[in-house]
Each structure stands twice: as C-alpha cells, then as structure tokens.
Chains A and B, each alone.
Chain A
Amino acid sequence: MHRQSLSIALTGSGGSGVMTTGSLLLEAAARAGWYGFMSRSSGPQIRGGEAAAVVRLANAPVESPGDSFDLVLAIDPASMSRFLAEIPLRHDSLVITDPDAGRRGGELPDVPAQVLHLPMTKLAKAIPGGRPNMIALGAIARMIGMPEASIYPVLEKILKSKGPDIIETSWSCVQSGFAAGTGLPVFEKPQLEEGLGEHWSVTGNEAAGLGAIRGGIRFVAAYPITPATELLEWLASSLPKVGGVLVQAEDELASINQVIGASFGGTPALTATSGPGLALMTESIGLAVCSEVPAVILDVMRCGPSTGIATKSEQSDLNIALNGLHGDAPHLVVAPTSVTDCLFTTQWAVHLAEAMQTAVIVLSDQSLGQTRAIVKRPADISFIAKRLVPEQFDDTYYRYAVGDSGVSPMSIPGQAGGQYTADGLEHNQAGVPSSLPEDHYVQLEKRERKITGFDYGKHWADIEGSGDTAVITWGSATGPVREALSRLREQGRDVRLVSLRLLAPERPDEMAVALEGVTRLLVVEQSHSRQFYRYLRAGYDMNTEIKVFNRPGPLPFRPAEIIQHLNDWDEEASI
C-alpha cells in the first residue's frame, strides 16, 4: 500500500502545553486507526523555554520523520525561531500562528511557507480557564478530518489526573478551535488499511523497559539522567509488580556496582543511563567482564561530549561503548533499530548477558527513547535470561574452568560447595588471584572466545533487499534509511539495507555474506567524527567503494536526503 503521511509540528514557549497537545493528537489518531509517532524537541529549561512536539501520522507504520512538515502550529509566533532547522518547510507548508500570543514583541521568523493567523489566545480567553493549545488541537482536528467527538475520550484519558473541570474546559476549547478551523485549509487524510489488529502506543524507553522485564531483569539501579530518566521511572513502577526492585543510587558508579552485586547474587540486573553516566561506569563494566558477572547497561545517547546537548539525540557514544573499557575487555554492544525494536533488542541483550556471563551495552538514543510511536503489537519473543549454573559440586569446582565454549558454570551464593571469590584481579581457573602470564593468557582467551564463538543467529543485523548498492547504518538512523529505500523500491530500484544490531563482537563472516555483490556502500551515521565508518574500516574487510553520509546530532536524517546522496553518487559515476 502506498505510504501517505502528514507531518505536523506544534511549537510553543514556556508552559504552552505543546507536548500535551501533541500527545492528545497522537492518541486520538491512534484510536482512529492511524500509525504515527511523536518526538520531542526541547531546550534545557525545566519549565518554560521553547518546545516542539513533532507528530507524523500515516496509513502505515512509520519509523522516521518525513522530509518536511505539512502543518505547523506556532502557538506563539516567536517560538518557531528556535526550530527553523529542525522543522523543514516547503513553500506549500502551512504555518498557523497567533500574533496576540507570547511575549511582547515576539514575531514569527521568516518562513518559506504560507502563514495564516488563528486567534488562539482570544478564543481561549472567551472560555474561563481556557488555553490556546486546546484551541490549536481543535483546529488541527478539523483540518485533518478527525471527527470532533473522537477527541473527548482522549481528553478523559490523558487529562484524567487533572480532574473533571480541566477536562470540560479543554473540551470547550477543542470545540471552539474545531469551529474556528472551518475556514482553514483541509489536508488530505491518509487512507487507512482495514483490519489492523492490536496497536500499541509506546515510547522507545518504555519498550526497552518492557523488554528488560520480559527478558528476566528483576533488579535495576538508577541515577537520573536525561534522556534515560523515563525508562528508569517506568521500571521503578513496573518492577515491583513482578517481584523486582529499582534502587535509586547515589551516582552512576554506585548504579553499576549495585547491578554487579545483584547479578552476582543470581538476579538478572540492568542499569540505564546516558553518555556522561556511561563514562563513569566504564571501570566497573570492566569488572563485570573480568569477574564474568552478567550485566546490562542501557545508554540512551544524547549529544556529547561532556554535558553536550542533554535533551537531543546523537549516535556518538559508539566509540566509548566499543572501546571505552581499559585493558582487553571483550563485551557486547547492541543497538535497537527502531522504537519497537527497543523491546526486542533489550530483551535479547538480557539473554546474551546471562548466556555469556558478560557485560552488554545497549545503545539506544534520545530520538528512539523519547519518541512515542503507534505500532503494531510487537511479536512475543522467547529470549529469556538463562544462566549456566552448576547443579552439583565436587571438590574440584572451578568457577573459571576453561571449557570449549568459554562459558563456565557460575555458582550462586547459597549453593553449598560453590563458594568462590569473584575478582577483578586476574585469576586462575579456581578464581584465585594470579599474576602468572599463562593464567592471564588463558583467561583472556576464554573471555574472548565465549563471545566470538556464540551463535547470534540472524539477529546480528537487519538485512533487506539485494541490490549492488547498499546502505549500511545502525540504531536510530535505520528508520529514515529504511523509508528512503522503500521509496526507491516503489520506483523500481533495489538498494540493500544492512543495519547492524550487534556492533561488538564484529561478525566478519556474516558481513561478507550480507555484502556479497555490493559495489557501492553508503555509510549513514549521526556522528561528527564518523565513528561508525571508522569502526567498519577497523573491523571488517570492505572490498567496495564507500561513501559516508554523516552529521552530528540533533538534526535527524530525512529519507529524501538519503535518496539524494544515492542519486548524486549515480550522477558522479556516470560523468
């Protein structure tokens, strides 16, 4: 079915409620059977400051922002100026604003689009307690052909905690906005598929949390950090329901060590953080590797370095996740390829950590974590935490016995006869500290072999198509690449997609098969220093022509840009 979509942005300043409006719009659309998502863009302010809710509605699942926006509601005109780069417009895009709103002197910046005025402030003032963002919601509903009555149950659900008065006032505003929208242009409504089955409204952070619990995580240690906080908050309220616990730790050093302690005790454990927290944790992640204690570390990436841009997305923690541990510390790095895949990949990560008794870093990012998407219910998967635990002990139980797979049976406190000391010091097979070169070598080999020899099946990458041009990418960049290639496929051109879910250890044999016959490879990644490209060059034989389309966050890739890069390459080649 042909993809049809509408991209709508709501911008506003301090407390104008654009995020609430966006959420209501998305929920109403979801109930009407649409797919879509809402992502957030905001500044560092706790309250106030400019914010934008970015909504894309479609008749088929969508994973990335569109090329440009059809409709922008600038609740107050000046707020738009902060988002000119993040909200690309066309000459036929429509920007609706209200000159009476916002701070004195605030004006709409020059936009390459059609501008209309809607007196949202005046209409809101006519209703006691009324707010312009709800007027905007009514107007949008009118313009996109959403029945007025479909909004009410959504208000009841999302504004439930605010009480019945707020719901009724909001409803009056929505009706007023709907009426005022009568004179505004009408957008063509995406034609819906029939019989869609069960739909979910879920964020990447929530999906990751559910994946963690489904995988068997029952202990989480947490230190708040944007943009991972919502994931931790979701787990804080969900874990106790399943007999688990979340501990708010004093810092990230404590988080990772609590996780290692709980896991040593036999409870699958996870922490979630962002770049600055991951940097603090790296020493102890090495401890998990050396002492062979399973641990899952979920990094919801944001722009770095240092504090960077805490509220916006970037794929620039790849280097530290791959190479940030001191010494030779083989561990796993995996990355979800979409909002929905945050569930699969996190659940898989728990399974891998437990199966191989090592540390697994999951690289999500702000644009996956904080985006709420309307998706088909993700399929149930069978990956769960299953640790190799000895059932009986003889006098020669060696915790770090070197077997073929490199994974040794791990006794759990309480098991008589299995006592050992887990150690970050190099040790012999019995777990006794050792500085002998042969013990060091044997244990290094063992720890590497258990992860390089593991069977990851087909999950190491998402591979689609079979053309001799391929795009290779990872993480949140996969969404726009996938949409670009799907458009090209509709035009009759087959470009291959390779999106790596398993970044460490490298899978050179599988990669060789995936890239068989490829003569041109476009690398797409959201980092300024081309971290992913360098990783590919270091770890794989790339016997093909390569170009890189990279840029730092926070601007997301747009499908048309990727198509443009592929087309430009064709033109260069044909000259």
Chain B
Amino acid sequence: MKADTLEVQLQPKEYKSAVKPVWCPGCGDFGVLGSITKALAGLRVQPENAAIVSGIGCSSRMPTYLGTYGFHGVHGRALALATGLKTARPDLTVIATGGDGDGFSIGGNHFLHTCRRNPDMTYVVMDNQVYGMTKGQASPTTEPNWQKGKLTPAGTGINPFQPLAIALASGANFIARCSSSDSNGTARILMQAINHPGFSMVQVLSPCVTFRPEQREWKNMLIPAPEEMQATPDPAEAARLLLTDEGVYTGILYKGDRPVYQPKLESVIENIAELEEEFRI
C-alpha cells in the first residue's frame, strides 16, 4: 500500500505504465497522453484514485498506457461504462477517452445522453476525422468531399458531425477545444475540465499522420478563441461561436452550472428485512 504517499506530488511520467503505445510515430495521441499525465500530476490525483475508460480505436488504447485504473471496453460504450463507474464510485476521478468514430458514430447515443445526464466526469475525444485502426475510413467528423476513404471513394457527401455544438445543445457543462500539438495548453484545460463539476467535453484535434497527413497543418490553423469569448457561461454566446468559428478556435468555449447527476448512496433502513414488509399478508 502506498497510503503514505498521498500528499506527495508525482511527476507526470509516473502516471505512465510500462506499456509501449501501438500508435504510429508522429501520432497526435502521444501529446494527449502527455497532457493527461500532466493534468493528473498537476491536480495531485493519486493514480489509484483515477480511472480512465475507453472504447475501441487508436485513441481508445489510452488506458493501457497510464498507470491509473483503466477500462478498455467495447466499441462506442465508454461513456456508459464510465457513467456506471462514476455513479457507483463518486470518489474517483473518472476520465473517458476515445476517438471521433467511437464517440460520435457507434457511441453517438451515449454521447447525447451523457451530456444530458451531466455526471461529474471528463470526456477527452481525440478527433482526427478518420477511422485509423481500421485503416482509413471516413468518420462522422470527416468533411463530405474527402475522397481517400475506401468505403466512400466519392466522399461521404454528408455534413460532418459538430461535436461541440451538439454537446452544448445536449447539456454538457464544460466545453473546450484543444490541439494535441500544444501538450501543456491541453493539460491546463484538462485540469479545469476535471475540476469543473458535471460533464466536461474536451475535443482535442489530434492528427492522424498516416491516413490524414495534411492534418499536420492543424498546428498552424488552430488559434486561441478571443479572450472575451473564452469560458462564457452564456449558452447562446457559446452556440454562436461554435457554429461560426469553422472549428479553429481553441480554449474553453463554454462553462455552465447545471446540476450534477449524482444519486445519494446512503442507506435509510437498518435491515434489508424491512423490504419484506410489503409482501407480508
């Protein structure tokens, strides 16, 4: 047991496991791994008190590379699993991680309803607008005219999913966009996301250098949102920004104060046998 280390601040690297990532060299997810370790270290969350939950995909491999508790579940269900964990164990710091396909396509329903439910946890979506693990198909956030996806050689022809606008409309309590190339900046936002009560949605634009090499340019295209627009508590203002910024503004784009979902877990009867009363003739 390491109970005596509770007050000791660990270094970010001490939050990593010994497992080497499967990611391609240059993958944006390395930067996000670094940001998560920095955020946990910065918040002094003990590794045994954090749980990272994911589904399937390149970025969903994240839990294995961290020295916290982790769950690498099935495709698309990370938020549901994380909700169960957080509801039953409100003392834990719960972070769900994953990609755009896992979160917005197969897991889209859970995304809507987790925003709505507003449990006190953080969702880090590494968005690269492609399915990387299955080798380069269009994802929900892919632009309609991208023709390199072999399942949609003529392009998808359908509008990309707008995760942050939808998160806002569905009730997420904290909304931010980051760039994986800015590891420290992302870490600072993650610290605020984790600390903010309720469901925090953090989109990290994280290039897929293998199937979307043009995304290397993102680091030059992404710009911090103007100071006065950051962290607005006004959903109408946030909506205007999210619907008009063409996805290039980074920073905290909304900070709400909706009530957090957390049922009380306190027994009110002394003996389970009291439940039998209603059955007695």
Contacts and interface: CB of A to CB of B under 8 A. Distances in A.
Contact of B84 (A210, A262, A415, A424): A262
B103 interface: no
The 7 closest A-B pairs by CB, nearest first: A261-B84, A258-B84, A421-B70, A257-B80, A243-B267, A262-B88, A261-B85
A241 B264 CA distance: 10
B247 to A, nearest CB: 27
Contact of B88 (A198, A219, A250, A419): A219
Given A241-B275, A414-B48, A414-B49, A423 B64 contact: yes
Given A243-B267, A422-B72, A423-B64, A253 B80 contact: yes
Interface stretch (A48-56, A171-179, A265-273, A488-496): A265-273
A416 B2 contact: yes
Interface in B121-180: none
Interface in B38-73: 46-49, 51-53, 63-64, 66-73
A423 B83 CA distance: 17
Given A258-B83, A422-B70, A413 B267 contact: no
Interface stretch (A200-208, A303-311, A454-462, A478-486): A200-208
Contact of A242 (B67, B92, B269, B279): B269
B42 to A, nearest CB: 19
Contacts of B110: 250, 253-254
A417 B48 CA distance: 7
Interface residues on B, range: 35 or more
Interface string A18-35: 000000000100110000
Interface in A41-69: none
B13 interface: no
A247 B84 contact: yes
Nearest to A259: B84
A291 interface: yes
B48 A413 contact: yes
Given A241-B267, A420-B70, A422-B73, 9 more contacts: A218-B88, A242-B267, A247-B83, A250-B113, A258-B83, A261-B71, A261-B81, A261-B82, A414-B48
Contact of B109 (A31, A251, A287, A417): A251
A393 B3 CA distance: 12
A200 B276 CA distance: 9
A214 interface: yes
B87 A247 contact: yes
B263 A243 contact: no
A422 B268 CA distance: 33
Nearest to A267: B88
B85 A214 contact: no
B268 A240 contact: yes
A96 interface: no
A221 B84 contact: yes
Contacts of B5: 416
Contact of B3 (A218, A241, A287, A416): A416
Contact of A269 (B47, B84, B86, B272): B84
B228 interface: no
Contacts of B68: 419
Nearest to B68: A419
A259 B274 CA distance: 26
A356 interface: no
Contacts of B81: 257-258, 260-261, 264
A355 interface: no
A259 to B, nearest CB: 6
B67 A419 contact: yes
Given A417-B1, A419-B69, A244 B275 contact: no
A416 B67 CA distance: 11
B212 to A, nearest CB: 25
B54 to A, nearest CB: 9
Given A254-B77, A261-B85, A421 B72 contact: yes
Contact of A30 (B51, B53, B281): B281
Chain A CB within 10 Å — which of B47, B77, B281 has the most?
Answer: B281
Given A221-B84, A245-B88, A287-B73, A417 B2 contact: yes
Contacts of A267: 88-89
A566 interface: no
Contacts of B49: 413-414
A429 interface: no
Chain B CB within 10 Å — which of A254, A283, A413, A424 has the most?
Answer: A413
A57 B51 CA distance: 54
A199 B281 contact: yes
B227 interface: no
Nearest to A431: B64
Given A269-B88, A424-B72, A210 B276 contact: yes
Nearest to A391: B1
A219 B81 CA distance: 13
B87 A245 contact: yes
Given A199-B281, A258-B80, A264-B71, A243 B266 contact: yes
A201 B280 CA distance: 6
A245 B74 contact: no
Contacts of B2: 416-417
A146 interface: no
A552 interface: no
Nearest to B61: A433
A512 B103 CA distance: 51
A200 to B, nearest CB: 4
B19 interface: yes
Given A199-B281, A414-B49, A415-B48, A261 B83 contact: yes
B159 to A, nearest CB: 24
A201 B281 CA distance: 6
Given A200-B280, A417-B48, A433-B64, A240 B88 contact: no
